[in-house]
Structure 1
Amino acid sequence: MAPSCTLAIKAIPNAPRTEVVGWLGDALKVKVHAPPVEGKANEALCEFLADTLQLPRRAVTVLRGDTSRQKVVRIDGLDLAAVRSALVR
Structure 2
Amino acid sequence: MRDDGIVLTLRVTPRSSRERLAKGREGSFAARVNAPPVDGAANAAVIALVAKSFGVPKRAVTILSGETSRDKRVHVAGDPQALAPIAAALYGPAP
Q: TM-score range by the shorter chain?
A: 0.7 to 0.9
Q: Which residue is 2:88 aligned to?
A: 85
Q: Which amino acid aligns with 1:85?
A: A
Count of residues in Structure 1 that have an aligned counterpart in Structure 2: 88
Structure 1: tracts of 5 or more residues without a match? none
| Moved beyond 4 Å, runs of 4+ | none
Q: CA RMSD in A?
A: 1.7
- Identity over aligned residues, as a percent? 34
Q: Distance in 2 between matches of 1:61 and 1:24?
A: 22
TM-score for both structures, normalised by structure 1 = 0.87
Query: Is the 1:53–1:86 contact (alpha carbons within 8 Å) kept by the matching residues of 2?
Result: no
- Higher strand proportion (structure 1 or 2): 1
Unaligned 5+ residue runs, structure 2?
A: none
Q: C-alpha distance in 1, partners of 2:42/2:79? A: 23
Q: Report matched runs for 1:1-89 at 5 Å.
A: 3-79=4-80, 81-88=84-91
What per-residue deviation string (whole Å, max 9, x for no partner) do you get for residues 22-50 of structure 1? 23122101111100001100100111110
